[in-house]
Amino acid sequence: MVSEAKHPPAQLGPMPDGLSSQQIVRRHILGSIVQSERSYLDSLKRILQEYQRPLMEAEPRILSVRKIRPIFFRLREIMQCHSMFQIALASRVAEWDSCEKIGDLFVASFSKSMVLDVYSDYVNNFTNAMALIKKACMSKPAFLEFLKVRKQASSVDRITLYGLMVKPIQRFPQFILLLQDMLKNTPTGHVDRLPLQLALTELETLAEKLNEQKRVADQVTETQQLARCVSDRSLSKLLNSEQISLILCETLIETVYSERGQVLKSKERKVFLFGDMLICANINVKGPPDISSLVPVGPKYTLKWSAPLQQVQVVEVGQEGTQTKDTLYQLGGVKRPGGSSGSGNGSIILGPPRLYQELQELQHDLSVVEQVTLLVGTLQGTYQNLNTTVAQDWCLALQRLIRIKEDQIQSANKCRLRLQVPGRPDKSGRPVSFTVVFNTPSPVSKISWVNRFHLAKIALRDENTPGWLSAEDDGKTKAPFWCPLLACRMSVFTSKAREWKLEAALHNPVQCALLGFSAVSTSLPQGYLWVAGGGDSTQGQVDIFSLNRPTPRPVKSLQMGARVRCLEYVPEPTPSEDAETGPYNSTGVGNTICVGLDDGCILVYGSMDTAAQCLVTLRNSEGCPVLCLKHSGNFLFAGLRDGTLMVYERHPGGTSFITLDVSLYLTVGSDPIRTLLALEGSVWASCANTVTVLDVSSLSTQRFEVHQDPMVSVAHMVRAGGGAWMAFSEGSSIRLFHTETLEHLQEINISTPSSFYNPSQKSVRVTSLLICQGLLWVGTAQGIIITLPVPKLEGIPKITGKGMTSLNAHCGPVDFLVALSSTLSPDLLKRDSVVEGHDSACGVEDRSDSSSQESLQQASISAQVDGKRKGRGMLLQYRLRSTSGLPGRPLTVRGEEASDSSLESLEHSMEDGAIYELSDDPDMWVRGRPCDRKGVRRDRVISVAVISGGKGFRRLREGSVTTTAESTLMIWQLPLTV
């Protein structure tokens, strides 16, 4: 123990006069750091002084020393680490007003290997410690009484031993939140800014490692608990083996329906998704309440059924027609009047599918009424109640009914997971499947389950077993589930000569109409993929693919009169600077795609639909090839081969780059400008071995050298957080630079992580770079792709772990790497609120009275906010077009001028789905900071994929080299993030 007399705790002195508002905020955040650290140390002392010491000194013994030591394993060492940090913190706080620096202290204190070691040991032992406490409570009444007395004796908080022991697991996430606040209030150029970013990187890396260890330990515990309850020896042996991996497990509500779709009964089930198997188990009583109030008591399970994952199908409402005719379906979720489970040929309607049948009937009736309307219009005479106006009113009423039915189906799919599970064959040997219906706690849970099902099946394919290999791999380690999975590959420009080369690609995101959740969870991020290629200088082509399915689908091809060099997506400007909260502006030209050509032209295409019309052509007077494009704010930057940077400025009030004029010709150097990087308020342009920083507001420049060899050029730049990675035209190294101080922070040789390179090659050249979802993707001239872990937060994107090499490679250089990303839920609103302002035009209304509300009861119970308890709100917007699938225009008795944005309008407009409220999860390790209920939070569901382009396809280490030289795209999918 560190003596407080010798080393008094940190104490922030009185606030001096004349401080700026940011300095005042920083002092308050420092005070929070000091207070939280002191509280944490007090908690550690309480564990050791109020629990460990009395147990060790008790006479007679309550527990043996052999059992006491594992319970409090490594706690003393953790306290020692933080006692030393407290001494350094006190010294720094005392001189705060003269130095205002704290980031370097965190780096020095928590980058030591000892800190990771003691915390790792503690986290790995935590589940075992809780199991020992639980077992001792059941077998030693004196120990149970001891814990009860200590809880009662706790002064104000009455915190349990478990509540104290979980604090070390939560410590680093708490530090991260405090440092994020400090960095947010530290201006650019401040002496503490880079140290704070480095500290965030260190703490994020540490927290990620501990988080992964805790996740693995919890999964092992859950799997072992399940294995103990399985009577089947082969299944129990499989569960106890190291080969099985648990992807997802959650308590879901199994629901049983009557023939009419009414809920008869529901019961909690624990559902386990393994890498190749799905298991459903009954949950038994969790144990005596007096024990469960002191320490979490894990439930016991009874196996209900298990099934191979490949034979389990997710069936959304409306997809029942895809069932195989050769299979006999037992609708296990249906109870017939006699009480027995029904079986038949699939003609029985199960709950929500009745809604879909009613929708089909309404659509049929509408098509008939539309035909009748056309016939009525041909009548020669005039008849009462038989005229065009009346017939159009029939259409109007049917369209309203269809909209209501679609809303009901949408709500039915939100929290209901329907699975077709294989059962035992019938007496004739035909395969039999039964339907199981689960209610998930929230729409996000439903999305996660469908997404994990989809990815787990992809992971079983040959190309993903294995798909990635670590450089230090011993051949036994299995790649973690979060590794990108090769979802598909496809050839492009197949009709062109083999000399054609892929040049660039980009993602054009759009909002798509989707019915149900399966499509959201299993398809690629919504939008269009533009892929550019070319042969000689007079030939170029851009192919556009739709991404609303698991595989890209070609929709249009644009022929160019010159070779395409680069592409750039330019979003339409919005009144709000924050794209997340700003209104969607559908006026003007909209989003645009800029295409840079070898003849010096920049073609601007509209991206509102697949027509992709060329809106304007921008030319430079010299006809110099455009090698790179980048937009920032109201400017479009074009890097030319002769070293000139052209700057196009949007006219005030302009809605697209159609109205741009060249406002500046800037000579960066005599060498080509090979790549551009846009930052906040500046653009970096590479020319030979230097980078020129152009300030967008003042158009002033600053130049710095990034490579000592003048013959080496900067070929690629990517940015994350406070750093930018650069790759060069020669050599296999990549370098990291600070975006604010331009300081060189790290250098990595990417040839070392892989053993697949040809030993005769002296160097490996980088041909593409991408940062996506905490991974730095590196494409090489050998066609091999390497991923290196980097932090996701606002720190410095230093490479902090082992690299992984993809066993799926191109036969030629990796020409490009592009990320696809779409956000499913950008907004947060109260459950019962009516959206105001611009969103009211989208038809948002409360759907709480929908006919399928019974499926959401479990979610709504935990989600209600009574005003006294703060919860986390989330609006999940899944849009659909009410009648866009029907032929012709919607008929209305009102004129064209009557088409407005009211809820009664039957235009082909987007409509919002239901609004759900999610309460804070009590099991979350990191609980977000409290927020104003009226404010907007950034909780989102994000779908991500990565596409690489190059010649051919091959599997490393298998000797299978594809002979074709066709240009090929490989598409990787990552798990949805929330």
> Beta strands 942-951 and 954-955: pairing type?
unpaired
CA distances from 688 to 626, 642, 673, 703, 815 (A): 16, 11, 8, 12, 20
End-to-end Cα separation, the chain, in angstroms? 41
Q: What share of the chain is helix, strand, coil (3-state, %, to 5)?
A: 30, 30, 40
CA distances from 428 to 423, 424, 425 (A): 14, 11, 8
Using CA atoms, how far apart are residues 266 and 252, in angstroms rounded to an integer? 10
Kindly tell me if the per-residue pLDDT of 469 is higher than 60: yes
pLDDT at 609: 59
Phi, psi of 116 (to 5 degrees): -65, -40
Mean pLDDT for 470-483 is: 60
Using CA atoms, how far apart are residues 950 and 957, in angstroms rounded to an integer? 19
pLDDT band at 156 (very low <50, low <70, confident <90, very high): low
Kindly tell me if the per-residue pLDDT of 860 is higher than 50: no
CA atoms within 13 A on the CB side of 868: 0
Mean pLDDT for 556-560 is: 88
pLDDT band at 652 (very low <50, low <70, confident <90, very high): low
Question: Tokens for 120?
Answer: 């790792």
One DSSP character per residue, 658-708 reads GG-EEEEEEE--SS-EEEEEEETTEEEEEETTEEEEEETTT--EEEEE--S
Per-residue pLDDT tens digits for 612-630: 788 888 888 778 899 999 9
Is 732 within 8 Å of 749 (Cβ atoms)?
yes
Is 764 within 8 Å of 689 (Cβ atoms)?
no
Per the listing, tokens 């998930």 go with 440
pLDDT at 215: 87
Domains and CATH numbers, the chain: 21-217 (1.20.900.10), 222-287+298-316+416-463 (2.30.29.30)
Q: Tell me the H-state helices in 460-561.
A: 518-522
Per-residue pLDDT tens digits for 275-328: 889 999 988 866 666 676 777 767 788 888 999 999 998 887 655 544 443 444
pLDDT band at 263 (very low <50, low <70, confident <90, very high): confident
CA distances from 119 to 169, 170, 204 (A): 8, 11, 14
Kindly tell me if the per-residue pLDDT of 330 is higher than 60: no
Structure-model confidence comparison of residues 590 and 70, the more confident one: 70
> Beta strands 301-308 and 485-492: pairing type?
unpaired
Strands (E), 896-941: 910-911, 916-918
Q: Which of 557, 569, 571, 561 is nearest to 600 (CA)?
A: 561
CA distances from 744 to 111, 193, 214, 456, 723 (A): 20, 16, 34, 40, 10
Per the listing, tokens 């991206």 go with 607
Q: Which of 433, 363, 443 is nearest to 401 (CA)?
A: 363
Helix axes 113-139, 141-153, angle to 10 degrees: 120
Q: Percent of the chain scored above 90 by pLDDT?
A: 29
Is 507 within 8 Å of 819 (Cβ atoms)?
yes
Question: Tokens for 757?
Answer: 């390179």
Q: Which of 300, 310, 350, 360 is nearest to 330 (CA)?
A: 350
Per-residue pLDDT tens digits for 407-428: 776 666 677 888 888 887 777 7
Per-residue pLDDT tens digits for 798-851: 998 888 899 999 988 999 999 998 876 543 322 222 222 222 222 222 322 232
Contacts of 6 (CB under 8 A, 6+ apart): none
* Amino acid found at 882: S
Kindly tell me if the per-residue pLDDT of 197 is higher than 90: yes
Kindly tell me if the per-residue pLDDT of 963 is higher than 60: no
pLDDT at 4: 61
pLDDT at 216: 86
pLDDT at 934: 37
Using CA atoms, how far apart are residues 675 and 537, in angstroms rounded to an integer? 20
Using CA atoms, how far apart are residues 130 and 146, in angstroms rounded to an integer? 16
Is 333 within 8 Å of 436 (Cβ atoms)?
yes
Cis amide linkage into residue 887, ω under 30° from 0: no
Go through the chain and tell me how many residues it has.
Answer: 978
CA 737 to chain centre: 27
Judge residue 591's burial from the number of C-beta atoms within 10 Å of its C-beta, 0-12 exposed, 13-18 middle, 19 or more buried: middle
180-188 CB contacts, 8 Å cutoff, 24+ apart: 180/793, 180/794, 181/29, 181/32, 182/26, 182/29, 182/30, 182/33, 182/102, 182/103, 183/794, 185/22, 185/25, 185/26, 185/29, 186/22, 186/26, 187/22, 188/740
Using CA atoms, how far apart are residues 110 and 116, in angstroms rounded to an integer? 8
**What is the SS3 assignment for 589-630?**
CCCEEEEEECCCEEEEEECCCCCCCEEEEEECCCCCCEEEEE
Question: Tokens for 77?
Answer: 């060492």
Count of Cβ atoms closer than 10 Å to residue 561 Cβ: 13
Per-residue pLDDT tens digits for 212-229: 888 888 888 888 888 888
Using CA atoms, how far apart are residues 685 and 666, in angstroms rounded to an integer? 11
Is 151 within 8 Å of 137 (Cβ atoms)?
no
CA distances from 215 to 171, 398, 439, 453, 457 (A): 16, 51, 24, 19, 22
Judge residue 707's burial from the number of C-beta atoms within 10 Å of its C-beta, 0-12 exposed, 13-18 middle, 19 or more buried: buried
Using CA atoms, how far apart are residues 855 and 4, in angstroms rounded to an integer? 57
* Amino acid found at 512: C
Count of Cβ atoms closer than 10 Å to residue 683 Cβ: 23
* Amino acid found at 911: E
pLDDT at 654: 52
Using CA atoms, how far apart are residues 91 and 102, in angstroms rounded to an integer? 11
Per-residue pLDDT tens digits for 676-710: 999 988 999 999 999 999 888 888 889 999 999 88
Ramachandran region, residue 774 (left: φ > 0; alpha: ψ -120 to 50; beta: rest)? left
**What is the SS3 assignment for 347-410?**
CCCCCCHHHHHHHHHHHHHHHHHHHHHHHHCCCCCCECCECHHHHHHHHHHHHHHHHHHHHHHH
* Amino acid found at 603: L
Per-residue pLDDT tens digits for 369-385: 888 888 988 888 888 77
Kindly tell me if the per-residue pLDDT of 947 is higher than 70: yes
Per-residue pLDDT tens digits for 15-65: 888 888 989 999 999 999 999 999 999 999 999 998 999 999 888 888 888
Q: Percent of the chain scored above 70 by pLDDT?
A: 73
* Amino acid found at 126: F
Q: How much is the mean pLDDT over the chain?
A: 76
Strand partners, 677: 684
Kindly tell me if the per-residue pLDDT of 899 is higher than 60: no
Per-residue pLDDT tens digits for 73-97: 999 999 999 999 999 999 999 999 8
> SS3 for 965?
coil
pLDDT at 742: 92
Numbers of helices and strands, H then E, in the chain:
18, 45
Kindly tell me if the per-residue pLDDT of 970 is higher than 90: yes
pLDDT at 44: 93
pLDDT band at 525 (very low <50, low <70, confident <90, very high): confident
pLDDT band at 738 (very low <50, low <70, confident <90, very high): very high
Phi, psi of 692 (to 5 degrees): -105, 125
The DSSP secondary-structure symbol of 52 reads I
**Most confident segment among 53-57, 156-160, 508-512, 831-835:** 53-57
Is 11 within 8 Å of 38 (Cβ atoms)?
no
